[in-house]
Amino acid sequence: MKLDVIILAGGLGTRLASVVSDVPKPMAPVAGKPFLEQVLKSLPAQHIAKVILAVGYKYEKIEEYYGSVYNTIPLEYSIETEPLGTGGGIGRALRKCTSEHILILNGDTSFDVNLEELIHVHQTEQALLTLALKQMDSPDRYGTVLLEKNTIVRFQEKQTGLSTGLINGGVYIASKALISELPQIEKYSFESEILEGKVTSGRLKGYISKGLFIDIGIPADYERAQSIFA
């Protein structure tokens, strides 16, 4: 089975402005190469039909660097000329997908997930969308996810003082059917319209991964990434 992959690569990197100001966040240099390189490198090329880069801010920098192919994987660009929110960006890119299942990744996080296991949960549970989740200590920076068996039952806002919690790791497998269920508007939030909007349907599933998770949107993690990927 071959998958189309969407990588969200339109971030401004506001919190990284002191370190990275003239490129989109996924192009922030990590160990001498753009961070996006780590995300692309992690893809199992033999299972990937194409990669669609959902881009916006200074997207030309990404297009100039990567062009139309990466290690034999065709690259396409889904360009936002104005910010469409996380939902609008994903929605526009999804319309370029033709595979039965679609992998969605963030271009500014690296989450080492066993793709075969994630797909297995998705197919076994006949999910609309399956999220890779990470158990985090002190997850104050993130909202948390409540999971019953493999079904996501609630998304909780950020809370201070939690000792541990499951967070959304920003790696998703979507069924092609999601395309027909997207809002008929250009600009919206994926988190509120799709994740929170569909949670009561019971069709959002979760897979817990113990793999390394790193989010370079936070300066401390950006520094940590330099040594991890060196």
DSSP string, 2-64: -EEEEEE-----GGGTTT--SS-GGGSEETTEEHHHHHHHTS-GGGEEEEEEEE-TTHHHHHH
- Among 85, 111, 112, 90, smallest CA distance to 102 is for 90
Q: What is the pLDDT of residues 188-218, one digit of tens each?
A: 888 888 898 899 999 999 999 999 999 887 7
Element (H, E) at 154: strand 151-156
Q: Which pair of tokens denotes residue 54?
A: 């959902």
Task: State residue 15's pLDDT score.
Answer: 60
Per-residue pLDDT of the chain (230 residues), as tens digits, is: 899 999 999 876 566 656 666 778 889 889 889 999 999 999 988 899 999 999 988 899 999 999 999 999 999 999 988 888 888 889 999 999 999 999 999 998 999 999 999 999 999 999 999 999 999 888 878 889 999 999 999 998 887 778 888 999 999 999 999 989 888 888 888 888 889 889 999 999 999 999 999 988 778 888 888 988 88
What CATH number has the domain spanning 3-216+223-228?
3.90.550.10
Phi and psi (nearest 5°) for 104?
-120, 130
Q: Which residues contact 193 (CB under 8 A, 6 or more apart)?
A: 87, 183
pTM: 0.93
Angstrom distance (rounded) from CA 134 to CA 205: 14
Burial class (CB in 10 A: 0-12, 13-18, 19+), 89: buried
Place of tokens 């992998």: 103
Angstrom distance (rounded) from CA 62 to CA 24: 8
Task: State residue 185's pLDDT score.
Answer: 81
Q: What is the pLDDT of residues 24-35, one digit of tens each?
A: 888 988 988 999
- CA 72, 174, 59, 107 dihedral sign is negative
